[in-house]
Each structure stands twice: as structure tokens, then as C-alpha cells.
A and B are shown apart, each in its own frame.
Chain A
Amino acid sequence: MALLGPNGAGKTTTVRMLTGLISPTEGEATVAGLPLRGNENRIRAQVGVLTETPSLYDRMRVADYLAFFGRLYGIPGVELGPRIEQFLRLFDLQDHRDKRIGSFSKGMKQKVALARALLHDPRVIFLDEPTSGLDPESARVLRDYILFLKEERRRTILVCTHNLDEAERLADYIGIISRGRLLRYSRAEELKTEGLREREFRITIDLRESRNLRVLKAGPGESLKGNTANVTANITTNVTPGVSVDISDVIVDAVELVKNTAGVKKVTNARQESTSRQIQGRRQDPEGQYPGTPSRLSISIVFSTEDPRSTNPQVLRSLLDRGFAVISCEETTRSLEDVYLEIVGHEEMANGRSWTSMAPEEGRSYGRK
């Protein structure tokens, strides 16, 4: 589970309650099968906590530091040494095992703190900003290890993070918290489609495979070679070098088709997906190819509908009947960032706080327009 929320939302307090560090004022919770009240010490033995700051003893050597916490957690002596070595190897710290922690970079300190949190093989793991300060490679190693713990070792992991991409990649469930209240708790995919009456779909059409090339026009004073109605295999090979081919009519035609289909509420976006709007003719290279021409020439159209079950087949049928090569039709989802900002922004406004005041730039608005 990933716990998201603005600064001061109560993420750290929640973690502290669930790890038996502070007592809840009300309510009940069960951690690792143990009710929170009266089992604080037993819960602490079952959980691993990575605090917001690494909080290490700078004068200690890494191996000694891990050994100290290993003993505190009651790891038997025979297991402790190999386990320390395992984590030193995992986080690429084996060459630094006898160095004092004070000489480490922030990222290395974070790794040591993580090793400390995971050393006793906890059943439940609480990670507060686990990849903060880590270089991309180390962050990836850590993320992979978190996924390994989750999927292979079946551990429960709660990650507090501001990195929404990381939350989405790691977590099965997302919780959004603000001002001490859990505003949402569901799967990321559910969060993204939550509250939407109309759903959006993106249709992608490959023009090079489409049969309706009659709408293609040559540039001024030029003409396309060959029978344009049949040039479907590779449009670029049939363009004379130096000739521009305008495909705007193709897009207009496709958009009109979609827009006029029953059930389509609106077309919100239509664009060409090749690198340039116009195909610039190029001189053939020795192998007869035209370097620099787009390898794929497609357009995408985004439309919304309340009833995709009946509307989408009609949209597809009308496009296919007109000769468009539809290569995909997929639902577009809001990003987790959009959803998060909507939910938290709404909460902030409900509490009388100006949402725009949270924007980093004046005049910038959050959420979908």
C-alpha cells in the first residue's frame, strides 16, 4: 500500500501509530495479526521501519551498526553475520562494511537505514520515502527488492511517498490522506476512473495501412506517383523526393466520422503521431530507402462516451468501413497525479484553503482542464 498526502497530512503519525510508537486516541488497528493496543512491543518486533531521515550513528561502522540492531531485534548470533553480509551485498555496501557511517553520502546512509529496517525479516514493513536521496540505480534496486518482498516473500509493505510514479509501480492499493483523514483507499486503476460518468477512449489509425488515400493531396505543383488509391503498403516510397504530402484532410475526415457516431459525446483530441505534420520527401539512399521519413504515420482521436459498450463498436465500424486501418482502441485513464491533486485539492478547498496557493507557480491550475 502506498500512503499519499501533502506535508502534514498525517502519514508519519499513522506509521508511528501502526508501529506502536504512539497510541491512537481512538479506533482500532491490527498489525501482523496483533491488535495494536497492549501489543506495542510485540508489534515492533514484527515490523521494520524506515524513518523519514536515515538517523544513523555516524561514529559506528556499517557492519557494527547492523549487528547492534540485529541483536536488539533478537536475531540469533549464527544468523546475524550471514544476514548482514547479504544486505551489504544487496545494497552494494560490502566494500564499505568497515567504514564509519559519518563518511557516507546521503544515498549510502539511506541504504544502511534500509538494511537496518529489513535485517530482521519483518512481516510488515513501513517505508517513509524509501528512495529519497538514492541515485536512480540504487532506487531501482530498492524498488525491485520491495517488489520481491511483496511478491515472493508475501510481505505487507506500506510506503509513504510523494513520488506518485513510484507509488503506482509498487503498490496494489493507494491511500490518500489529508489532515489526518483517509480520503481514498482503493486500487490505483479504480482511483483513476473513479467518479467519471463519461469515459474517454483513444483510437489510433495507421494511415500507411489505410485504404482511403484518395484524400491525400500532393503539394503545390507536384503530384504523387502511382495509383494513390492503391498505394497502401508504404506511402513514403511513393512520394517523390521534395514533395510534401498534406494529411490534414485525412484527420478531418476521421474526426468527423467519430464525432457523428451515435453515443459519442465529444472529440477532445485529434492529432498526428508521426514526428512531423507533413511528410517531407527525401532522396533515396543506396538501398532505395528514404532516410528521415517517419517509420509510422498514424493519427489518434480521443473521444468520450457514457456508453462505450454500444458506442465503441459503432465508431470502429464506421472508421473501418471508410477504409481506415484502426490499430488500437484503448481507454485513456487520468494519471494518478491528476487524481491525487483533484482529491487533495478538493479537500483543501473544502477546508477553506485556497487550492491555487498550493500551486508552485502563480496562475497555474491543477487537475484536468
Chain B
Amino acid sequence: MAVNRAFLVAARELRETIQDTRFVYTTVVTGLALPVFYAYISMSTVRALPTGVASTMFPVWFLLSSILPASFSMQLALASFVGEKENRTIEPLLAAPMSNRELFVGKVISSFIPPLVLVAIVQAVFLGASFGFARLKYRMPFSPDLAVIGRTALLVPLVILFMVACAVLISARSTSMRSAQQVGAFINLPIIFLVVYKAPQILDIMGKSAPDVLAVGVAVNILLLRIGIRLFNRESILTQIG
């Protein structure tokens, strides 16, 4: 596999994503405004609640602020896989001398990286804002659990990849963005809800056996992506677009 061509495809799509004003606005709102808001609520609850409860609430807010931007990966992947089919811009790409796998990898990378960067920005802003609210506004010590931060940092890429893999599977049967987004919402929203609702338990389980959780996550993603590669072939795509 010529990695170069996969990166060319990824670089073009990344550039397009960055130039997309919808993504820029979303980045500003979710990358700057929301984490500050979450950090404010988080620090307020830490200050107001007893220490035991507060220590549970901070990781939840941290995970919540990380998972929401991670879910954008599904939208990006759907735009990359289904949007190109809908606009037929995928045809010249399919006619180019690159394998299905190269094209697939390029598209997965381009769907994976922006949410990952966005999550990193969100987490940094959240931690910075939390530090600011704690030290400057509430005059209290700020000592986040680094283990929790580490576990979340490991979990989020797996969630992003899972979303991308789901988008690939959806795109195999979909030729319009509208229908793909509708199907995607059935996967996206329950996952966000589940992760947020069960955040303490998830973080607790990860605390006890992080390698096992990560291994399962990696295995599931590999399985889904392998199915995705099998489904992503020129013939079926061209049959769909007519």
C-alpha cells in the first residue's frame, strides 16, 4: 500500500474540513465556549458539594466535554464517504491509480484527526478554565486526578474510531447524506448518552483494568474497520451512484 497516496487523500480532505465554515464555527463553540461553561459548572459543583461527590463530578464533566466533540467524527466520516458519493466527486478518485485500501485509509485518517485535535483542544481548555475558576474565582486548590485524565485521553480516540467505523458501515448502504445522518444519529446519540450516564462506572472499570478495556476497544474497532474495508470497494460504490 502506498501510504503517500492515502495521506494525499487525507490531506486534501483535512484542508477542506478546515476551510468549511460550519466546522470552524463548531470548533469555536465546542472547543472554547462549551469547555469553559463545563469547567465553570464543574468547579461550582466541586465547591458546593461534599468532597466525595465532587471528586466524582469532575471526571464526568471532563468526559462529557471530550465525548461531544469526538462525536463529530461520525459527521466528518459520513461527509467523506457518503457526501462524496452523493456529489459523485468520488468517481475521479476511484479512477486514480490507488487501491481501495489506500482510499479507505485516507478517508479514515481525515475523519479521525480533526475530532482528535478538537478533543485535545477541548480538554486543554477545560483543564485551563477549571484551574482558572478554582484558583482565581473560588480560591480553592485545583488538583485533578491525573489517572482519570489519562484514562479519558485513551478512551476518546477509541470512541472517535468507533464512530468513524460505524459511519463507514452506514455509508456502505447509503447514497444520501440525509439518510446517512438519520441512521448515524441512532448510533451517535445513544453512545454519547451511555458514555455520559455511565462515565463514573466506565472510568472506574478503566481504573481497575485499563489494558483490558483498551484491548476490547481496539479489537472492536479493528473488526469494524476490517468489515468497512471489505464493504468499501469500487464496484459497489459505482453501482450505487449509477
Task: Tell whether A49 pairs with B16 under 8 Å between CB atoms, given A16-B238, A41-B97, A72-B5.
Answer: no
Q: Closest chain A residue to B12 by CB distance?
A: A68
Does A145 have its Cβ within 8 Å of any Cβ on chain B?
no
The stretch that binds B, out of A51-59, A84-92, A222-230, A301-309, is A51-59
Taking each of B8, B20, B94, B238, which has the highest tally of chain A beta carbons within 10 Å of its own beta carbon? B94
CA distance A72 to B8 in the complex (A): 7
Question: What B residues does A73 contact at CB under 8 A?
Answer: 96-97
- Report whether B238 and A60 are in contact in the complex, using a CB–CB cutoff of 8 Å: no
In the A-B complex, list the 3 residue pairs whose CB atoms are closest, starting with the nearest.
Answer: A45-B97, A44-B97, A49-B95
Q: Closest chain A residue to B242 by CB distance?
A: A12
Question: What B residues does A22 contact at CB under 8 A?
Answer: 234-235, 238-239
- Report whether A51 and B88 are in contact in the complex, using a CB–CB cutoff of 8 Å: yes
Task: Tell whether A72 pairs with B16 under 8 Å between CB atoms, given A22-B234, A57-B89.
Answer: no
Question: Hey, which bits of chain B sit against chain A, CB under 8 A?
Answer: 5, 8-9, 12, 16, 19-20, 87-99, 234-235, 238-239
Question: What B residues does A56 contact at CB under 8 A?
Answer: 89
Shortest Cβ gap from B25 to chain A (Å): 16
Scan A43-75; emit 1 where CB is below 8 A from any B CB, else 0: 011010101010111011000000011011110
- Select which of A41, A47, A59, A69 is within 8 A of B92 by beta carbon: A69
Question: What A residues does B9 contact at CB under 8 A?
Answer: 72
Shortest Cβ gap from A53 to chain B (Å): 6
Question: What A residues does B8 contact at CB under 8 A?
Answer: 68, 71-72
Q: Closest chain B residue to A43 by CB distance?
A: B97
Question: What A residues does B91 contact at CB under 8 A?
Answer: 51, 53, 55
A-B pairs with beta carbons under 8 Å apart, 26 shown: A16-B238, A19-B95, A21-B95, A21-B234, A21-B238, A22-B234, A22-B239, A23-B235, A41-B97, A42-B97, A44-B95, A44-B96, A44-B97, A49-B92, A49-B95, A51-B88, A51-B91, A55-B87, A55-B92, A56-B89, A59-B16, A60-B12, A69-B92, A72-B8, A73-B97, A74-B97
CA distance A71 to B9 in the complex (A): 10
Does A11 have its Cβ within 8 Å of any Cβ on chain B?
no
Question: What B residues does A55 contact at CB under 8 A?
Answer: 87-92
Taking each of A19, A41, A113, which has the highest tally of chain B beta carbons within 10 Å of its own beta carbon? A41
CA distance A55 to B93 in the complex (A): 10
Question: What B residues does A16 contact at CB under 8 A?
Answer: 238
Question: What B residues does A57 contact at CB under 8 A?
Answer: 12, 16, 89
- Report whether B95 and A51 are in contact in the complex, using a CB–CB cutoff of 8 Å: yes
Question: What B residues does A211 contact at CB under 8 A?
Answer: none
Does A116 have its Cβ within 8 Å of any Cβ on chain B?
yes
Task: Give the number of residue pairs across the A-B interface with Cβ within 8 Å.
Answer: 62
Shortest Cβ gap from B24 to chain A (Å): 13
Question: What B residues does A68 contact at CB under 8 A?
Answer: 8, 12
Taking each of A42, A60, A68, A71, which has the highest tally of chain B beta carbons within 10 Å of its own beta carbon? A68
Question: What A residues does B92 contact at CB under 8 A?
Answer: 49, 51, 55, 69, 113, 116
CA distance A108 to B58 in the complex (A): 56
Question: What B residues does A59 contact at CB under 8 A?
Answer: 16, 19-20
- Report whether B96 and A72 are in contact in the complex, using a CB–CB cutoff of 8 Å: yes
Question: What A residues does B95 contact at CB under 8 A?
Answer: 19, 21, 44, 47, 49, 51
Question: What A residues does B16 contact at CB under 8 A?
Answer: 57, 59-60
Question: What B residues does A45 contact at CB under 8 A?
Answer: 97
Question: What is the number of residues of chain A that contact chain B, defined by CB distance less than 8 Å?
Answer: 26
Q: A22-B235, A56-B89 are in contact. List 10 more A-B contacts (CB 8 A).
A: A21-B238, A23-B235, A51-B92, A53-B88, A55-B91, A55-B92, A59-B20, A69-B92, A72-B97, A73-B97
CA distance A23 to B236 in the complex (A): 11
Question: What B residues does A21 contact at CB under 8 A?
Answer: 94-95, 234-235, 238
CA distance A72 to B94 in the complex (A): 11
Question: What A residues does B234 contact at CB under 8 A?
Answer: 21-22
CA distance A23 to B19 in the complex (A): 37
CA distance A56 to B12 in the complex (A): 13
Q: Closest chain B residue to A13 by CB distance?
A: B238
Shortest Cβ gap from A125 to chain B (Å): 12
Shortest Cβ gap from B131 to chain A (Å): 38
Q: Closest chain B residue to A100 by CB distance?
A: B19
CA distance A44 to B91 in the complex (A): 13
Q: Closest chain B residue to A126 by CB distance?
A: B95
Taking each of B12, B19, B97, which has the highest tally of chain A beta carbons within 10 Å of its own beta carbon? B97
Q: Closest chain B residue to A72 by CB distance?
A: B96
Q: Closest chain A residue to B87 by CB distance?
A: A55
CA distance A366 to B25 in the complex (A): 59
CA distance A14 to B239 in the complex (A): 13
Question: What B residues does A44 contact at CB under 8 A?
Answer: 95-98
Question: What A residues does B5 contact at CB under 8 A?
Answer: 72
Q: Closest chain A residue to B103 by CB distance?
A: A72
Taking each of B91, B95, B239, which has the highest tally of chain A beta carbons within 10 Å of its own beta carbon? B95
CA distance A41 to B99 in the complex (A): 7
Shortest Cβ gap from B105 to chain A (Å): 14
Shortest Cβ gap from B191 to chain A (Å): 30
CA distance A19 to B8 in the complex (A): 22
Q: Closest chain A residue to B20 by CB distance?
A: A59
- Report whether A41 and B88 are in contact in the complex, using a CB–CB cutoff of 8 Å: no
- Select which of B88, B96, B99, B239 is within 8 A of A69 by beta carbon: B96
Question: What A residues does B88 contact at CB under 8 A?
Answer: 51, 53, 55
CA distance A69 to B89 in the complex (A): 12
Question: What B residues does A41 contact at CB under 8 A?
Answer: 97-99
CA distance A157 to B146 in the complex (A): 64
Shortest Cβ gap from A323 to chain B (Å): 66
CA distance A19 to B96 in the complex (A): 10
